[in-house]
Structure 1
Protein backbone atom coordinates (compact mmCIF):
# COMPACT_ATOMS: atom_id res chain seq x y z
CA UNK A 1 0.00 0.00 0.00
CA UNK A 2 1.34 3.44 -0.90
CA UNK A 3 1.90 5.96 1.88
CA UNK A 4 1.35 9.69 2.15
CA UNK A 5 3.20 11.29 5.07
CA UNK A 6 1.57 14.39 6.54
CA UNK A 7 4.40 16.19 8.34
CA UNK A 8 3.90 19.56 9.98
CA UNK A 9 1.78 21.57 12.37
CA UNK A 10 -1.86 21.40 13.44
CA UNK A 11 -3.13 22.10 9.92
CA UNK A 12 -2.28 18.48 9.12
CA UNK A 13 -3.86 17.08 12.31
CA UNK A 14 -7.38 18.04 11.22
CA UNK A 15 -8.15 20.26 14.21
CA UNK A 16 -11.90 20.82 14.51
CA UNK A 17 -13.30 22.81 17.43
CA UNK A 18 -10.04 22.42 19.31
CA UNK A 19 -9.74 18.64 18.88
CA UNK A 20 -7.75 16.62 16.36
CA UNK A 21 -9.78 14.62 13.85
CA UNK A 22 -9.48 12.57 10.66
CA UNK A 23 -11.37 15.11 8.52
CA UNK A 24 -8.42 16.05 6.31
CA UNK A 25 -7.39 12.40 5.95
CA UNK A 26 -10.85 11.43 4.73
CA UNK A 27 -10.96 14.26 2.19
CA UNK A 28 -7.51 13.45 0.77
CA UNK A 29 -8.28 9.73 0.45
CA UNK A 30 -11.81 10.29 -0.92
CA UNK A 31 -10.50 12.75 -3.53
CA UNK A 32 -7.71 10.38 -4.62
CA UNK A 33 -10.13 7.46 -4.84
CA UNK A 34 -12.58 9.59 -6.84
CA UNK A 35 -9.78 10.45 -9.29
CA UNK A 36 -8.95 6.77 -9.78
CA UNK A 37 -6.07 6.46 -7.30
CA UNK A 38 -7.35 4.31 -4.41
CA UNK A 39 -5.35 2.35 -1.87
CA UNK A 40 -3.36 5.01 -0.04
CA UNK A 41 -2.50 5.00 3.66
CA UNK A 42 -1.81 8.20 5.59
CA UNK A 43 0.97 8.54 8.13
CA UNK A 44 0.03 11.43 10.40
CA UNK A 45 3.02 13.30 11.78
CA UNK A 46 1.41 16.65 12.47
CA UNK A 47 1.93 18.30 15.86
CA UNK A 48 -0.12 21.12 17.25
CA UNK A 49 1.66 24.40 17.91
CA UNK A 50 4.86 23.30 16.20
CA UNK A 51 7.26 25.69 14.45
CA UNK A 52 9.61 24.85 11.61
CA UNK A 53 12.53 24.73 14.08
CA UNK A 54 10.68 22.15 16.17
CA UNK A 55 9.85 20.22 13.00
CA UNK A 56 13.54 20.06 12.13
CA UNK A 57 14.20 18.36 15.46
CA UNK A 58 11.98 15.43 14.44
CA UNK A 59 12.45 15.33 10.65
CA UNK A 60 14.10 11.90 10.94
CA UNK A 61 10.77 10.48 12.10
CA UNK A 62 9.17 11.67 8.85
CA UNK A 63 12.06 10.37 6.72
CA UNK A 64 11.86 6.96 8.42
CA UNK A 65 8.16 6.72 7.53
CA UNK A 66 9.29 6.25 3.89
CA UNK A 67 6.31 7.92 2.28
CA UNK A 68 5.63 7.76 -1.42
CA UNK A 69 4.58 11.38 -0.98
CA UNK A 70 5.35 13.84 1.83
CA UNK A 71 3.16 16.85 2.55
CA UNK A 72 5.07 19.45 4.61
CA UNK A 73 3.26 22.26 6.40
CA UNK A 74 4.95 24.71 8.75
CA UNK A 75 4.79 28.47 9.10
CA UNK A 76 1.70 29.65 10.93
CA UNK A 77 3.23 29.02 14.36
CA UNK A 78 6.48 30.60 13.14
CA UNK A 79 4.45 33.63 12.07
CA UNK A 80 2.33 33.84 15.21
CA UNK A 81 4.60 32.89 18.07
CA UNK A 82 8.23 32.29 17.13
CA UNK A 83 11.08 34.72 17.70
CA UNK A 84 12.88 33.24 14.71
CA UNK A 85 13.27 35.55 11.72
CA UNK A 86 11.64 35.12 8.34
CA UNK A 87 15.06 34.16 6.96
CA UNK A 88 15.47 31.47 9.63
CA UNK A 89 12.07 30.09 8.64
CA UNK A 90 13.16 29.99 4.99
CA UNK A 91 16.36 28.13 5.89
CA UNK A 92 14.39 25.70 8.06
CA UNK A 93 12.00 24.96 5.20
CA UNK A 94 14.89 24.27 2.85
CA UNK A 95 16.42 21.86 5.37
CA UNK A 96 13.07 20.13 5.92
CA UNK A 97 12.43 19.77 2.20
CA UNK A 98 16.02 18.70 1.58
CA UNK A 99 15.60 15.69 3.85
CA UNK A 100 13.35 14.06 1.22
CA UNK A 101 13.47 13.16 -2.45
CA UNK A 102 12.19 16.37 -4.11
CA UNK A 103 9.88 14.42 -6.42
CA UNK A 104 7.92 13.20 -3.38
CA UNK A 105 7.42 16.58 -1.65
CA UNK A 106 4.39 18.87 -1.60
CA UNK A 107 4.99 22.01 0.45
CA UNK A 108 2.03 23.95 1.87
CA UNK A 109 2.35 27.65 2.59
CA UNK A 110 0.72 29.45 5.48
CA UNK A 111 -2.92 30.35 4.99
CA UNK A 112 -5.22 33.27 5.65
CA UNK A 113 -6.37 34.02 9.22
CA UNK A 114 -9.74 35.46 10.24
CA UNK A 115 -8.44 38.33 12.38
CA UNK A 116 -11.99 39.16 13.55
CA UNK A 117 -11.92 35.84 15.44
CA UNK A 118 -8.17 35.75 16.10
CA UNK A 119 -7.11 39.41 16.46
CA UNK A 120 -3.48 38.50 17.23
CA UNK A 121 -3.15 37.16 13.69
CA UNK A 122 -1.43 39.26 11.02
CA UNK A 123 -2.29 38.42 7.41
CA UNK A 124 0.49 40.60 6.04
CA UNK A 125 2.92 38.51 8.07
CA UNK A 126 1.20 35.28 6.98
CA UNK A 127 1.65 36.38 3.39
CA UNK A 128 5.37 37.06 3.97
CA UNK A 129 5.80 33.54 5.34
CA UNK A 130 3.86 32.13 2.38
CA UNK A 131 6.19 34.01 0.01
CA UNK A 132 9.27 32.72 1.84
CA UNK A 133 7.98 29.14 1.58
CA UNK A 134 7.33 29.60 -2.15
CA UNK A 135 10.87 30.92 -2.63
CA UNK A 136 12.29 27.92 -0.77
CA UNK A 137 10.17 25.53 -2.86
CA UNK A 138 11.40 27.13 -6.09
CA UNK A 139 15.00 26.89 -4.93
CA UNK A 140 14.56 23.24 -3.91
CA UNK A 141 12.46 22.41 -7.02
CA UNK A 142 9.47 20.96 -5.16
CA UNK A 143 5.73 21.33 -5.63
CA UNK A 144 4.13 24.06 -3.57
CA UNK A 145 0.50 24.76 -2.73
CA UNK A 146 0.14 28.47 -2.02
CA UNK A 147 -2.65 28.11 0.50
CA UNK A 148 -2.74 31.84 1.25
CA UNK A 149 -3.29 32.63 -2.43
CA UNK A 150 -5.90 29.88 -2.92
CA UNK A 151 -7.86 31.11 0.10
CA UNK A 152 -7.74 34.82 -0.70
CA UNK A 153 -8.69 34.64 -4.39
CA UNK A 154 -12.03 33.35 -3.14
CA UNK A 155 -14.45 36.24 -2.42
CA UNK A 156 -15.21 35.06 1.13
CA UNK A 157 -12.05 33.41 2.54
CA UNK A 158 -13.47 33.44 6.08
CA UNK A 159 -15.79 30.60 5.02
CA UNK A 160 -12.73 28.36 4.84
CA UNK A 161 -11.98 28.94 8.55
CA UNK A 162 -13.62 27.79 11.76
CA UNK A 163 -15.39 30.39 13.84
CA UNK A 164 -13.95 28.49 16.82
CA UNK A 165 -10.47 29.98 16.37
CA UNK A 166 -10.19 31.76 13.00
CA UNK A 167 -7.02 29.81 12.14
CA UNK A 168 -7.91 26.19 11.40
CA UNK A 169 -9.97 25.20 8.36
CA UNK A 170 -13.71 24.72 8.54
CA UNK A 171 -15.28 21.60 7.02
CA UNK A 172 -15.29 23.43 3.66
CA UNK A 173 -11.70 24.51 4.25
CA UNK A 174 -10.51 20.96 4.91
CA UNK A 175 -12.40 19.72 1.86
CA UNK A 176 -10.69 22.42 -0.20
CA UNK A 177 -7.26 21.59 1.26
CA UNK A 178 -7.77 17.85 0.75
CA UNK A 179 -8.68 18.46 -2.89
CA UNK A 180 -5.58 20.63 -3.43
CA UNK A 181 -3.30 17.97 -1.93
CA UNK A 182 -4.97 15.16 -3.90
CA UNK A 183 -4.67 17.17 -7.12
CA UNK A 184 -0.94 17.63 -6.62
CA UNK A 185 -0.47 13.92 -5.90
CA UNK A 186 -2.46 13.06 -9.03
CA UNK A 187 -0.26 15.39 -11.11
CA UNK A 188 2.85 13.72 -9.70
CA UNK A 189 1.46 10.25 -10.48
CA UNK A 190 0.57 11.24 -14.05
CA UNK A 191 4.04 12.77 -14.54
CA UNK A 192 5.59 9.48 -13.37
CA UNK A 193 3.60 7.70 -16.07
Structure 2
Protein backbone atom coordinates (compact mmCIF):
# COMPACT_ATOMS: atom_id res chain seq x y z
CA UNK A 1 0.00 0.00 0.00
CA UNK A 2 1.33 3.41 -0.98
CA UNK A 3 1.64 6.16 1.64
CA UNK A 4 0.86 9.85 1.51
CA UNK A 5 2.40 11.77 4.41
CA UNK A 6 0.55 14.90 5.49
CA UNK A 7 3.19 16.96 7.30
CA UNK A 8 2.33 20.36 8.65
CA UNK A 9 0.05 22.42 10.83
CA UNK A 10 -3.65 22.16 11.71
CA UNK A 11 -4.70 22.47 8.06
CA UNK A 12 -3.41 18.94 7.50
CA UNK A 13 -4.94 17.77 10.79
CA UNK A 14 -8.34 18.50 9.22
CA UNK A 15 -9.46 20.77 12.05
CA UNK A 16 -13.25 21.25 12.02
CA UNK A 17 -15.01 23.29 14.70
CA UNK A 18 -11.83 23.35 16.73
CA UNK A 19 -11.10 19.60 16.67
CA UNK A 20 -8.94 17.39 14.40
CA UNK A 21 -10.97 15.27 11.98
CA UNK A 22 -10.56 12.94 9.02
CA UNK A 23 -12.40 15.23 6.57
CA UNK A 24 -9.34 16.06 4.45
CA UNK A 25 -8.14 12.45 4.48
CA UNK A 26 -11.51 11.25 3.19
CA UNK A 27 -11.58 13.80 0.39
CA UNK A 28 -8.02 13.03 -0.77
CA UNK A 29 -8.60 9.28 -0.79
CA UNK A 30 -12.06 9.55 -2.39
CA UNK A 31 -10.75 11.84 -5.13
CA UNK A 32 -7.80 9.53 -5.86
CA UNK A 33 -10.06 6.47 -5.95
CA UNK A 34 -12.45 8.30 -8.28
CA UNK A 35 -9.53 8.91 -10.67
CA UNK A 36 -8.58 5.23 -10.58
CA UNK A 37 -5.81 5.46 -7.98
CA UNK A 38 -6.93 3.50 -4.94
CA UNK A 39 -4.93 1.66 -2.30
CA UNK A 40 -3.42 4.69 -0.57
CA UNK A 41 -2.87 5.11 3.15
CA UNK A 42 -2.44 8.50 4.84
CA UNK A 43 0.09 9.18 7.56
CA UNK A 44 -1.21 12.21 9.45
CA UNK A 45 1.53 14.38 10.89
CA UNK A 46 -0.38 17.65 11.11
CA UNK A 47 -0.09 19.45 14.47
CA UNK A 48 -2.11 22.41 15.61
CA UNK A 49 -0.37 25.72 16.16
CA UNK A 50 2.91 24.74 14.55
CA UNK A 51 5.19 27.13 12.72
CA UNK A 52 7.82 26.16 10.17
CA UNK A 53 10.39 26.12 13.01
CA UNK A 54 8.30 23.53 14.85
CA UNK A 55 8.07 21.45 11.68
CA UNK A 56 11.81 21.63 11.17
CA UNK A 57 12.34 20.45 14.75
CA UNK A 58 10.35 17.26 14.04
CA UNK A 59 11.39 16.66 10.43
CA UNK A 60 12.75 13.20 11.27
CA UNK A 61 9.22 12.05 12.09
CA UNK A 62 8.11 12.86 8.55
CA UNK A 63 11.26 11.44 6.90
CA UNK A 64 10.94 8.21 8.91
CA UNK A 65 7.35 7.77 7.64
CA UNK A 66 8.84 7.05 4.18
CA UNK A 67 5.92 8.39 2.16
CA UNK A 68 5.49 7.85 -1.54
CA UNK A 69 4.24 11.45 -1.50
CA UNK A 70 4.70 14.17 1.12
CA UNK A 71 2.28 17.08 1.42
CA UNK A 72 3.86 19.95 3.37
CA UNK A 73 1.89 22.84 4.88
CA UNK A 74 3.40 25.43 7.18
CA UNK A 75 3.28 29.22 7.23
CA UNK A 76 -0.06 30.30 8.63
CA UNK A 77 1.16 30.16 12.22
CA UNK A 78 4.40 31.88 11.16
CA UNK A 79 2.22 34.64 9.70
CA UNK A 80 -0.55 34.83 12.32
CA UNK A 81 1.62 34.57 15.40
CA UNK A 82 4.59 36.16 13.66
CA UNK A 83 6.80 33.37 15.00
CA UNK A 84 9.10 33.61 12.00
CA UNK A 85 9.75 36.41 9.53
CA UNK A 86 9.06 35.73 5.87
CA UNK A 87 12.79 35.17 5.34
CA UNK A 88 13.10 32.76 8.30
CA UNK A 89 10.01 30.92 7.07
CA UNK A 90 11.62 30.60 3.62
CA UNK A 91 14.81 29.17 5.09
CA UNK A 92 12.87 26.71 7.26
CA UNK A 93 10.61 25.54 4.46
CA UNK A 94 13.58 25.06 2.14
CA UNK A 95 15.33 22.89 4.73
CA UNK A 96 12.14 20.89 5.29
CA UNK A 97 11.65 20.30 1.56
CA UNK A 98 15.28 19.33 1.03
CA UNK A 99 14.83 16.49 3.53
CA UNK A 100 12.77 14.66 0.88
CA UNK A 101 13.09 13.57 -2.73
CA UNK A 102 11.74 16.61 -4.63
CA UNK A 103 9.63 14.42 -6.91
CA UNK A 104 7.59 13.29 -3.90
CA UNK A 105 6.83 16.74 -2.46
CA UNK A 106 3.69 18.86 -2.77
CA UNK A 107 4.02 22.19 -0.96
CA UNK A 108 0.90 24.10 0.08
CA UNK A 109 1.04 27.85 0.52
CA UNK A 110 -0.75 29.78 3.22
CA UNK A 111 -4.42 30.34 2.51
CA UNK A 112 -7.01 33.06 2.90
CA UNK A 113 -8.36 34.22 6.28
CA UNK A 114 -11.85 35.57 6.99
CA UNK A 115 -10.71 38.68 8.87
CA UNK A 116 -14.27 39.50 9.97
CA UNK A 117 -14.20 36.30 12.04
CA UNK A 118 -10.47 36.44 12.86
CA UNK A 119 -9.47 40.12 13.05
CA UNK A 120 -5.82 39.34 13.90
CA UNK A 121 -5.51 37.77 10.45
CA UNK A 122 -3.80 39.74 7.72
CA UNK A 123 -4.34 38.54 4.16
CA UNK A 124 -1.59 40.75 2.78
CA UNK A 125 0.83 39.05 5.19
CA UNK A 126 -0.61 35.64 4.24
CA UNK A 127 0.05 36.52 0.59
CA UNK A 128 3.69 37.41 1.36
CA UNK A 129 4.22 34.02 3.03
CA UNK A 130 2.52 32.32 0.07
CA UNK A 131 4.82 34.16 -2.35
CA UNK A 132 7.87 33.07 -0.35
CA UNK A 133 6.68 29.44 -0.42
CA UNK A 134 6.25 29.64 -4.21
CA UNK A 135 9.73 31.17 -4.58
CA UNK A 136 11.32 28.40 -2.51
CA UNK A 137 9.38 25.71 -4.38
CA UNK A 138 10.68 27.04 -7.69
CA UNK A 139 14.25 27.18 -6.36
CA UNK A 140 14.24 23.58 -5.18
CA UNK A 141 12.04 22.16 -7.94
CA UNK A 142 8.92 20.95 -6.13
CA UNK A 143 5.24 21.24 -6.96
CA UNK A 144 3.36 23.98 -5.14
CA UNK A 145 -0.36 24.47 -4.63
CA UNK A 146 -1.01 28.18 -4.19
CA UNK A 147 -3.96 28.06 -1.80
CA UNK A 148 -3.96 31.81 -1.31
CA UNK A 149 -4.38 32.38 -5.04
CA UNK A 150 -6.98 29.63 -5.50
CA UNK A 151 -9.04 30.96 -2.60
CA UNK A 152 -8.82 34.67 -3.41
CA UNK A 153 -9.65 34.46 -7.12
CA UNK A 154 -13.01 32.99 -6.13
CA UNK A 155 -15.69 35.72 -5.76
CA UNK A 156 -16.73 34.54 -2.27
CA UNK A 157 -13.56 33.29 -0.53
CA UNK A 158 -15.27 33.25 2.88
CA UNK A 159 -17.17 30.16 1.70
CA UNK A 160 -13.87 28.27 1.84
CA UNK A 161 -13.27 28.94 5.55
CA UNK A 162 -15.17 27.99 8.68
CA UNK A 163 -17.29 30.58 10.43
CA UNK A 164 -16.12 28.87 13.64
CA UNK A 165 -12.62 30.38 13.46
CA UNK A 166 -12.18 32.14 10.11
CA UNK A 167 -9.02 30.25 9.25
CA UNK A 168 -9.55 26.51 8.81
CA UNK A 169 -11.27 25.30 5.66
CA UNK A 170 -15.01 24.77 5.61
CA UNK A 171 -16.41 21.48 4.31
CA UNK A 172 -16.28 23.00 0.81
CA UNK A 173 -12.75 24.25 1.47
CA UNK A 174 -11.49 20.82 2.53
CA UNK A 175 -13.20 19.23 -0.47
CA UNK A 176 -11.48 21.75 -2.73
CA UNK A 177 -8.12 21.17 -1.01
CA UNK A 178 -8.49 17.39 -1.19
CA UNK A 179 -9.23 17.62 -4.92
CA UNK A 180 -6.18 19.84 -5.52
CA UNK A 181 -3.88 17.45 -3.64
CA UNK A 182 -5.33 14.38 -5.39
CA UNK A 183 -4.97 16.04 -8.80
CA UNK A 184 -1.32 16.85 -8.08
CA UNK A 185 -0.63 13.26 -7.01
CA UNK A 186 -2.35 11.98 -10.15
CA UNK A 187 -0.15 14.22 -12.32
CA UNK A 188 2.96 12.90 -10.55
CA UNK A 189 1.83 9.30 -11.06
CA UNK A 190 1.11 9.87 -14.75
CA UNK A 191 4.51 11.54 -15.20
CA UNK A 192 6.17 8.46 -13.66
CA UNK A 193 4.50 6.34 -16.32
TM-score (norm 1): 0.99
Matches of 2:161 and 2:88, distance apart in 1:
28
Q: Aligned pair 1:113/2:80, yes or no?
A: no
Whether the 8 Å CA contact 1:51–1:82 is kept in 2: the answer is no
Q: Which residue of 1 aligns with 2:22?
A: 22
Structure 2 residue aligned with 1:143: 143
Q: How far is 1:84 from its partner?
A: 2.0
Does the CA-based 8 Å contact 1:76-1:111 persist in structure 2? yes
Instruction: Give 2:68's aligned residue.
Output: 68
Aligned length: 193
- For residue 55 of structure 1, give the secondary structure of its aligned residue in structure 2: helix
Query: What secondary structure is seen at the aligned counterpart in 1 of 2:189?
Result: helix
**2:192 is the alignment partner of 1:184:** no
Q: How does 1:2-151 map to 2 (within 5 A)?
A: 2-151=2-151
Distance 1:32 1:84 in 2: 34
Q: Contact (CA 8 Å) 1:6, 1:46: kept in 2 or not? A: yes
SS at match of 1:72: strand
Aligned equivalents of 1:60, 1:84: Cα separation in 2: 21
Please give the secondary structure, in 2, of the residue aligned with 1:100. Answer: coil
Alignment partners' CA distance in 2, 1:65 and 1:160:
30
- Deviates further, 131-140 or 83-92: 83-92
Kindly report structure 1 stretches of 4+ aligned residues shifted beyond 4 Å: none
The answer as to whether partners of 2:51 and 2:83 remain within 8 angstroms in 1 is no
Unmatched 5+ residue regions in structure 2?
none
Contact persistence 2:56–2:95 (CA under 8 A)? yes
- Give 1:75 deviation, angstroms: 0.3
Q: Any stretches of 5+ residues in structure 1 without a counterpart?
A: none
Q: What is the TM-score when the length of structure 2 is the normalising length?
A: 0.99
Is the contact between residue 77 and residue 83 of structure 2 (CA under 8 Å) also seen in structure 1?
A: no
Q: 1 CA distance for matches of 2:160 and 2:28?
A: 16
Supply the distance in 2 between the matched residues of 1:37 and 1:142 (Cα, whole angstroms).
21
Structure 1 residue 85, shift from structure 2 partner: 1.4
Cα distance in 1 for partners of 2:103, 2:144 equals 12
